[in-house]
Amino acid sequence: MSMTSKHLVWAVFLIASIAVIGCSDDTTTDAGSVDDLADPGISMDNVDLFAAIAGMFNVEVTATDDVAVQKVDLMIDGAVAATSTEAPFTIPWDTTTASDGIVSISALVTDTAGKTAETEAIAVVLINSGEEVTFIEGNTGTISIPDPVAGDNHVAHHWTTGANGATGALVILQFEADAGDGEWTFVIDVGTGGCPHSGETLATSGALTASPIIFEPDLSSALPADTGCFVHMAVNEADHAGDDLDFEVRVFNFF
């Protein structure tokens, strides 16, 4: 083979090698084409259980993903109420578009691969046409059952200024019982006057056990604005001789 032929063979081999190298896989780092292996993460940073909210409220959300977040939806009672597509994910929520009382709020993140994650739903209380009442005894306390049990050990909480003509109410009772105490049972009464023994009971809950206890009394008429009102928590004290129970009770009036 002549030198010219040898040079031609090497030239053809070199060109073929370049062509093969040029056809190797593309490894672009474009977020739309990178393998998205992990589920997104999400948390709500400023929403507390049974928080009282009115008007415009900015829900602060932290959303993360191994590639990119596409959007964050604010979910109210399971339906999309607002959406954010840019970090930081602070989502304005006009609470006047929902009915007053307890609503559930969560945040749903979707990444660029379509994978989703949602926070646990948290119950909050909307009070655009309401107010949280103040108790003479305060919102927190301890139920102490004597040993032996000596009669009526119920706990009564009284409004300080009456109910201002409210047509609806919401009672939330929270407690954390010791594991060895057994089940605590409450019957909640709502009425007028200084206590159930001197006033009128307007609504009663029936036996309730699991914390939080939520009672929305069916009031036959507006609560009076010029008399005291009460929440009466009757506990099953006969089953809890010598036990103590820390609690928090909150009441909201709606107009």
- pLDDT digit string, tens, across residues 221-249: 777 776 778 888 999 988 999 999 999 99
pLDDT over 60 at 8, yes or no? no
**Average of per-residue pLDDT across 152-164:** 73
C-alpha closest to that of 172 among 193, 154, 192, 190:
190
pLDDT over 50 at 29, yes or no? no
- pLDDT digit string, tens, across residues 104-115: 999 999 999 999
- pLDDT digit string, tens, across residues 11-20: 444 444 433 3
Instruction: Set out the domains of the chain in order of their start, with CATH numbers.
Output: 41-126 (2.60.40.10), 130-254 (2.60.120.260)
pLDDT over 50 at 39, yes or no? yes
CA separation (Å) from 191 to 125, 162, 236? 22, 10, 20
Give the model's confidence band at 25: pLDDT under 50 very low, under 70 low, under 90 confident, else very high: very low
pLDDT over 50 at 24, yes or no? no
Give the model's confidence band at 160: pLDDT under 50 very low, under 70 low, under 90 confident, else very high: low
**Average of per-residue pLDDT across 72-79:** 97
pTM of the model: 0.80
Give the model's confidence band at 79: pLDDT under 50 very low, under 70 low, under 90 confident, else very high: very high
Tokens of 97: 């578009």
pLDDT over 60 at 184, yes or no? yes
